[in-house]
Amino acid sequence: MGALHGRHDAHGRHAAPVITGLGLALPPRATQTELWEGFFAKHFSGTTRELAQRIFANSGVTTRQAAVNPLLEDVSDWPTERRMRRYLVEALPLGKEAVGRALTAAGLAADDIGLFAVCSCTGYATPGLDILLARDLGMAADTQRVFVGHMGCYAALPGLGAASDFVAARGRPALLLCAELPGLHLQPSSARVDTQQIVAHALFSDAAVAVVVAPESTTPGYAVREVAAVTDTSTADYMTWDVTDTGFRMGLSPKVPQVLASHVRDLVDSLLARHDLRRTDVDGWAVHPGGPRILNVVERELSLPPEALAASRGVLADCGNCSSPTVLLILDRLTQGPRPPDWIVMLAFGPGLTLYATLLQRSPGGVSISA
């Protein structure tokens, strides 16, 4: 096993979990205009087409990725079984690329990993990505695995919490992979106006991001100080992700921003207070861009200056909403900037309605966490 196995601090406790490696894998991109003109415009008609065009234009998305390019291959009539077969074909190489880059950045080998956690809500198979990638990458036979499914856009943060808890308890490195292919679930229809479905088609994009979490050492990175959550179960039907005969279908209530507005300030302020911090101490914000309205609500409720969410808006524009990997894409952008933040708050939202927050602190050694 790796050299980090069983590492303890001066008091005999396992060292704090630190993000030491991050790897991205993005499928080919297309512009929002190309996708509208070359594919989506053909699937809508009349007033529905006019509505859809306005939604696409106001989505905040400029370019996004697709493992299965709708300009070349129309999946909208595929049955779910065919989509699931294609999911494995596309997700495995993307996951392998992301994991490989994260391990390289962390300076570890696959058989150093004690826990391999995978988050994905856009495809299912058994054996799943966790087993197949562990095999293909050469992870040790005693590597533990956990699969997080159907948590949607916020899954990266409970996944990061599970990985961090393992590192803190066992003193061994953990690996988290978020791999999503929402592009496989296109099912536009001109038969009726479905605004929620149009919004989903205007925003979502494919991506895979992997993160290595290791015991604190001289390796540069970000210490995971806490993962916190709040769920408002009275609004459980505001965001849904249902399995249908023609792929997975999203339900997205326009009331979601109102629910976030009710909870996000208390969640963030309570998290920071437990570490003797205030919002003004945070110089990095990685906020999941569920859409432009979500970012506007968070900015308003937390009284943030416009530049605070520049990385979140930039990822939405350049990559779209990639579900669970998105907040990690924003983390990568923040840490690769000219002045990497000392304190980062990550926020993500999804079904429940659930809000997750994570506090990261820059380690003294530096911040080179991407390959």
Catalytic, 119? Answer no
CA quadruple 135, 138, 139, 140: dihedral sign: positive
340 Cβ partners below 8 Å, 6+ apart? Answer: 284, 334, 362, 367
Structure token digits, residue 84 = 């699931």
Of 121, 153, 178, 322, catalytic: 153
| Kind and range of the H or E run holding 360 | strand 354-362
Q: Give the integer Cα–Cα distance in Å for 8 and 158.
A: 24
**Angle between the 292-301 and 310-319 helix axes, to the nearest 10 degrees?**
170
Contact 281, 343 (CB under 8 A): yes
The set of residues, in sequence order, having a beta carbon less than 8 Å from that of 142 and lying 6+ positions away, is none
Six token digits for residue 246: 């023609």
For the annotated catalytic residues, the residue numbers are: 153
